[in-house]
Amino acid sequence: MQFTTTDSSVTEIATDCLIAGLADAGLAGALADIDQASDGLLTRLHESGDLPRKAGQTVLLHSVPGISAGRLLIVGLGKAEKLDGVAFDKAVKAAGKALRQSRAASGHCLLAETEVIDRGRDWTIRQAGIALIYADYIYAATKQPKDDAPPATESVSFPTGESVEEQLRQAAAIAAGVKRARDLADLPPNICTPAYLADIAGKMAVEHDGLDVEILEEDEMRSLGMNALMAVADGSANRPRLIRLSWKGGRSGDAPLAMVGKGVTFDTGGISIKPRDLMEQMKFDMGGAAATIGAMEAVARLRLPINVEGVVAAVENMPDGRAYRPGDVITAMNGKTIEVHNTDAEGRMILADALTWTGKNLNPDTTVDLATLTGACVVALGHHASAVMTQDDELAGELLGAGQRSVDRTWRLPLWDDYQEQIETPFADMKNVGGMPAGSITAGCFLSRFADGQRWAHVDIAGSAWQWGKPESGTGRPVGMLVDWMVDRAGGWDKI
Ligand code: BES
Ligand code: MN
Ligand code: ZN
């Protein structure tokens, strides 16, 4: 989907589909103009209850008299006093879906006319762009769309205005990062292996000037002492990779922001094998890796004026004659010993060494890890929020704020020392599970022992990285939150 701008009047725009929002206050702005041009058609439809009243409902009208557009798509915005960023985002996504269903090759978006509570005009335009591209997504890697399936919308124009083009350019960059993450998460685990993730990172580095890649293979990881990561990796014929994407947009020597992603390309649970039902969903256990790679794509497209590192620990967790087992004691890269109680707690094992490696080699200002780490996180927060865990209140504030602004929301769970004792064991410095209570937090406690001395936060995306229906798919979260955070750290949207 390409974005353009136009200053034609609403009635004269030559487009396949005009997209306008209708709040409870009634016909206003562009819709009032169209109503006038069509001799009160919209007023009559509104009075007979045929226009959308609820937020997210859509109505498609063809051949409206008095306008040049072929179709008019009206999306309900609900009560104006309830139209916050989240509600706006949902409404635009509903409109975007209907736009594609309408088979329009081109559209003109009037939704950014809308007043959104606590949001400025730049935000509204940018988010409209991101949401339209998001809604246009269809998985096609291993399934041909039917011949009669609606094609992608080729272009959407917005009304000309100050900095509109800039917002749309930023929207396209972020949306490309989100799409990258969804594409990767949706791919099946026989295609999306650790080697495949490394290849994609390599291709991105070729595509984007200023983006560099470094890939560590198993011999190197073993000689670095990454035994926790290798313990998981050794159960699979799909050999591991440590992937590093570097964006050098800042001054050389400036400490980078670092993301570290869990890239378990398939999680069977290993010897502590998972039940068969729904095991296929564990292809998205590389959601943290997908978000890291997707965020790096957006960073490169935005050409952020800071240094950013994206590190991905890519492995597959399989049961096998070489697989690690419950009872094993493993010495991690930082010298700490881990007693394995459950091989299904593999994410924290690989992140342990990835965090140590990042802290040692990349001199990060701040490190944020992203991981589909615990089922307990889905129990706690469902699918609406990613969980943030950190002992640094300021960093928690940054990530909560970024989640709020990008409508890619995060919620904090406490990482108090009180929880640490749950992962104590007589046989090693720690065990890799902490029992039933606060399962997400004890996973965070485990990771904290490998982020010593770093300004660090853990983000559990087990619930947010995947949507169960409509259709089942990766969500590309939390790329939006991460990019907003990094832009903020780079000085804000006006500075980039
Ligand atoms: N990848 C899973 C977590 C997960 C489960 C994500 C369901 C999304 C949906 C992780 O590797 C895992 O298996 N965690 C275990 C930890 C337990 C053994 C302490 C879990 O949550 O059951
Ligand atoms: Mn697991
Ligand atoms: Zn896992």
- 422 alpha carbon to ligand 3 midpoint, in Å? 20
Ligand nearest to the CA of 436: 1
Burial class (CB in 10 A: 0-12, 13-18, 19+), 375: middle
Q: What is the pLDDT of residue 212?
A: 98
Contact of 318 with 343, CB cutoff 8 Å: no
Question: What residues have a C-beta under 5 A from ligand 2, the ion?
Answer: 267, 344, 346
- 418 alpha carbon to ligand 3 midpoint, in Å? 25
What is the average pLDDT across 124-129? Answer: 98
Give the residue, out of 267, 374, 377, 467, with the most ligand 1 atoms within 8 A of its beta carbon, to mutate for a pocket test.
Answer: 374
What is the average pLDDT across 433-448? Answer: 98
pLDDT of 471 strictly over 90? no
Q: What is the pLDDT of residue 51?
A: 97
Give the pLDDT band (50/70/90) at residue 470: confident
Residue 267 dihedral angles phi and psi, to the nearest 5°: -120, 95
Residue nearest to atom 14 of ligand 1 (CA): 374
Residue nearest to atom 5 of ligand 1 (CA): 375
Amino acid at 204: M
pLDDT of 371 strictly over 80? yes
What is the average pLDDT across 132-137? Answer: 96
Query: With b meaning 16 or more CB within 10 Å and e meaning fewer, what string describes 113-138?
Result: bbebeebebbbbbbbbbbbbbbbbbe
What is the average pLDDT across 214-219? Answer: 98
Residue nearest to atom 16 of ligand 1 (CA): 345
Tell the residue number behind the tokens 């780490």, with chain if given: 373
Treating both helix axes as pointing N-terminal to C-terminal, what angle do 479-489 and 393-405 enclose, rounded to 10 degrees? 120
Give the pLDDT band (50/70/90) at residue 222: very high
Q: Which CATH superfamily is domain 2-136 in?
A: Leucine Aminopeptidase, subunit E, domain 1 (3.40.220.10)
- 269 alpha carbon to ligand 1 midpoint, in Å? 8
- 141 alpha carbon to ligand 2 midpoint, in Å? 26
Give the pLDDT band (50/70/90) at residue 495: confident
Pairing of strands 17-23, 71-78: parallel
Read off the pLDDT of residues 76-109 as tens digits, 9 standing for 90 and up: 999 999 999 999 999 999 999 999 999 999 999 9
Lining ligand 1 with CB less than 6 A are 267, 285, 342, 344-347, 372-376, 378, 433, 439, 462
- C-alpha 114/C-alpha 384 separation (Å) is 24
What is the average pLDDT across 450-478? Answer: 95
pLDDT of 496 strictly over 90? no
- 459 alpha carbon to ligand 1 midpoint, in Å? 14
What is the average pLDDT across 181-198? Answer: 98
Domain ranges of the chain: 2-136, 175-489
Per cent of the chain over pLDDT 70 is 100
What is the average pLDDT across 319-327? Answer: 98
Note the pTM of the prediction, 2 decimals: 0.98
Read off the pLDDT of residues 40-60 as tens digits, 9 standing for 90 and up: 999 999 999 999 989 999 999
Read off the pLDDT of residues 281-313 as tens digits, 9 standing for 90 and up: 999 999 999 999 999 999 999 999 999 999 999
The per-residue pLDDT of the chain, averaged, comes to 97
Residue nearest to atom 22 of ligand 1 (CA): 375
Give the pLDDT band (50/70/90) at residue 454: very high
How many CA within 13 A on the CB side of residue 94?
23
Residues recognised as catalytic = 274, 348
Q: What is the pLDDT of residue 104?
A: 97
Q: What is the pLDDT of residue 468?
A: 83
Ligand nearest to the CA of 461: 1
Amino acid at 165: E
- Strand positions, DSSP E, 346-401: 366-371, 386-389
- C-alpha 160/C-alpha 162 separation (Å) is 7
pLDDT of 64 strictly over 90? yes
What is the average pLDDT across 322-339? Answer: 98
Give the residue, out of 274, 278, 324, 344, with the most ligand 1 atoms within 8 A of its beta carbon, to mutate for a pocket test.
Answer: 344
Q: What is the chain's alpha carbon radius of gyration, rounded to the nearest angstrom?
A: 24
Q: Which helix (H) or strand (E) holds 134?
A: helix 121-135
Q: Can you read off the two tokens belonging to residue 368?
A: 């944020």
**Measured CA angle at 441 (ends 439, 443), to 5 deg:** 70
- 179 alpha carbon to ligand 3 midpoint, in Å? 22
Q: What is the pLDDT of residue 295?
A: 99
| Count, residues in the chain | 496
Fold for the domain defined by 175-489 = Aminopeptidase (3.40.630)
Report the SS3 class of residue 154: coil
Alpha helices in 187-226 (DSSP H): 194-207, 218-223
Closest atom of ligand 1 to 434 CA is 19
Question: Of the candidates 134, 185, 184, which has an alpha carbon nearest to the alpha carbon of residue 407?
Answer: 134
Q: What share of the chain is helix, strand, coil (3-state, %, to 5)?
A: 40, 20, 40
Q: What is the pLDDT of residue 167?
A: 98
Question: Of the candidates 452, 433, 440, which has an alpha carbon nearest to the alpha carbon of residue 333?
Answer: 452
